[in-house]
Structure 1
Amino acid sequence: MRKSRVMVIVLTFLILSLIISGCDVDTREITVDSENKLIIHFIDVGQGDCTLIQFPNGETSLIDGGSRLYGDKVVNYLKDLGVDKVDYLIATHPHEDHIGGLPEVIRNFKIGKVYMPNRRANTRIFEELLLELDNHDLKINLAKAKDSIIDEEQLKFYILAPNRDDYDETNDFSIVTKTEYIDNTFIIAGDAEEDSEKDIVNNGLGLKADVLRIAHHGGRTSSSEEFLKKVNPKYAIISVGSDNTYGHPHKETLERLNGIGTDILRTDQLGDIIFVSDGNKLDYLEKSIKGDNIEIEYIGNKNTKVYHSKECNSLPKEENQIIFTSILDAEKNGYRPHEKCIKQGEIK
């Protein structure tokens, strides 16, 4: 009963959000009756990664949480969906753009099992994550290939990588997961690069997937030709920040993706991207609140309840910041505009 009620709320929220934001919605066969649906959210966290999986058995998994600046957005996103527990929290590898938002998640939700690779980092955010885990008496499960997280007759959730503990690059320690729900399959690839991809290809597990969340924001050192041909996804998701300084996604990666004929969906262009599966049929929604010619983020001050443009010279300290993706988002959370950097009448 609880699962049915929560899942009804989920799709109702998604559809209303899309209508309010003025987006065109692909509603083929998507109904509010969401019993037995798998819903995967690729949350737009700028130049970072964050994926929420709502399984048809009522459980949830959060894979990464974006950078520290997006911790509040991730928390609010989950709360708006009615999520109160993350059953499987996965930190793919200890880079800030993947784990930065997770301490805030741990502070706000019940957490079941935690999965991390056998790789540490000498950074403040990594130490903060370990401290929050310790404060909440959460044990770390060291992930390795072929570990099973969910193993039911029609639903599988398991680990494809890492396959070794002696990689040179931290990215290659990334936890790569695969979800199988009847006939629909998803791979979330962390930041795994070519060495890890070779091991994944050789580890004997099936790689064909309908949806592949591309590794390392579309960087050229990931998404090797051999790996892409094995996965052969219908959809390729790239989580990437607009006008990022890394030049992601790289031209070489896009050419390899175009070469296999996959549909490329990017968070910097579409915002949050949501897939809904009944196990046989797959639909996706673009829950973007970005206008055709507007890609704006606003930064709020938690202490003063004032929001600023991201170019403002009076931005608060990092620990006091909260990210909003629109003026409407800021104001509905009780924030008022900074009188110098936010112009009156600016588009909401």
Structure 2
Amino acid sequence: MKRRIFLVFVAGLCMAAGAVACDDEKKIVEPPFEQDPALITLHFPCTEDLRIGGFQVQTNEDMGYTAVDGVVRDGIVPGQIPEVALTEGDCRLLGRRNLFCDPACNPGFTCGFEETCVPMPLGQDMGTVVLRGLVERVALKALQPGSSYSYTQLPHPGFEVNHVIQLRTTSGFLGPLELYGVGVSQLVPTTSAWTLAAGQDLIIEWTPPPEGARSRILIELNIDQHGLTPLNMSCNLPDTGSATIPAVIVDALIAAGVTGYPTGRVTRRTEDSFTSTQGCIDFFVTSVRTMTVQVAGHTPCTSQDDCTPPEVCDLDPMIQQCYTPCSGPEDCTPPATCNAENKCE
């Protein structure tokens, strides 16, 4: 009876989108893998200049779901490698790399580092990707077009805290490989919003994980939604329950521009990676939340009702910020002056 129930379960799994065909499933012979999270080896995530893709098991705490997704390409995408504007401790300010090719690249090509068109890297078939250690075993085949991988039928949460999770392939673009993660505890920030203020450190706190956890914390901020040269903040931090973002990072981020509605995200994750001659892929097991972000002295708006008089809303889609109109240069702080639109600049 137990064997019959198991076969029915496997058949149901095989019918899911992207899952392995049942005949293939029967042929898989899997070796045991390490179950003690303290004994597995985890590697640092890929650097942007080597990363050709990766996989993640994401528990989205805002939406209440757990999903698996990933893609591996046959090269790096030049425009996706950020420029590092500033590094301070575990935090970096990253700028978008603006590559310009003239004439514009044809379909199937992208602008390269030398600003000449190069073939656009394409998603590659990694063979059957098997994940064990989740609440249920998942076996996926590449989805077309694009050779991406996706599975959204896991219960939520899709793993137990401190359980080892193995991602394994037996063939495909990079051949056989194994990557590991550990089930992370639910990320719970202790505040509902982050407020950035010029000249001040940003203190961020969250509920710490159980002792011995292998996780780290990734904090991402974008306060310049419409800027021509926006900077994003990215901090990869120890998962201790608190972190201090230095004022030098906060000041540089604000100075680069504040437009639109700021966004923030905090992720608890374990990190692993695999490097070959083709490039680097990584594997994350995550608990992620979006955060409300405020910038002192800046109020985002999409209508005049969002601003408190005498402030008015700059409805320019590239700005979307409240401001106080000026009537003359005396209303502005030098070297700014009052322009024809009654704005200090």
TM-score strictly above 0.5: no
TM range (shorter): under 0.3
TM-score (norm 2): 0.25
Between the two structures, name the one with larger relative contact order (CA 8 Å, sep ≥ 6): 2
Larger Rg: 2
Question: Comparing both structures, which one devotes a greater share of its residues to helix?
Answer: 1
Question: Comparing both structures, which one devotes a greater share of its residues to strand?
Answer: 2
TM-score (norm 1): 0.24
